[in-house]
Structure 1
């Protein structure tokens, strides 16, 4: 009975495979959104104000970073929790594949979240006249919470490795 339960638990990791595959559909959705925003930017170039152009470019950067985060989570998560990726020798392989354990994945996710939050906060600051002081305070506090969390996770990871 124990062997059966252990085998069942071990094989249940494959239930995660459709979830990681679903993340690839989210990357596709982000790609569609990215090119839609890029099209809007190109169409509006002759008439757009500089500040609005910067905001649109920041939105593109934001989408690209979220896409990169999704790919990293999708591929590393699959490799760490489901199965090793079998990539042919003649095919290009990302240098971080097979090297990122769950601890380093968490650190990269935290750093990505801080970067994405920074971009969002910069967009808020560029449109500062559209926000009251209380809203600005909350944006900064939330961002600082992300920063502190990333530092805390990095510090905890460092002390547990030594």
Structure 2
């Protein structure tokens, strides 16, 4: 069962230029470390500075996906996996958790109140495309791709 948003399913994804995956604890600390690690790898692989728009987008997207994995996709004692891929023209952030039955909605929902519910709206705003894939009965992966340039490459 697969659920995609904002994707062209007729084209296969190109082979990544670079790829790295790590597990983090399903805690706020784990989410913070994942966010820091993602932006560090982004700047190392792309040569773009920490204060560039794409780097800021990577920070925000990683923070939201990791936070959602902990809040909505975590079982007690289970970690989440962060996978980073440098693809031609874009940087892909994937967060895999242990709740495949809890899929994100097909469209980013309107905020339920003034203090929460904006995460997927932010991901949608900062990512070139994003979606969710379930490949087995035990995990789901929510991913987002940040464009390396703001000119739409």
Output the TM-score relative to the length of structure 1: 0.30
**Structure with more of its chain in strand, by fraction:** 2
Output the TM-score relative to the length of structure 2: 0.32
Larger Rg: 1
**Structure with more of its chain in helix, by fraction:** 1
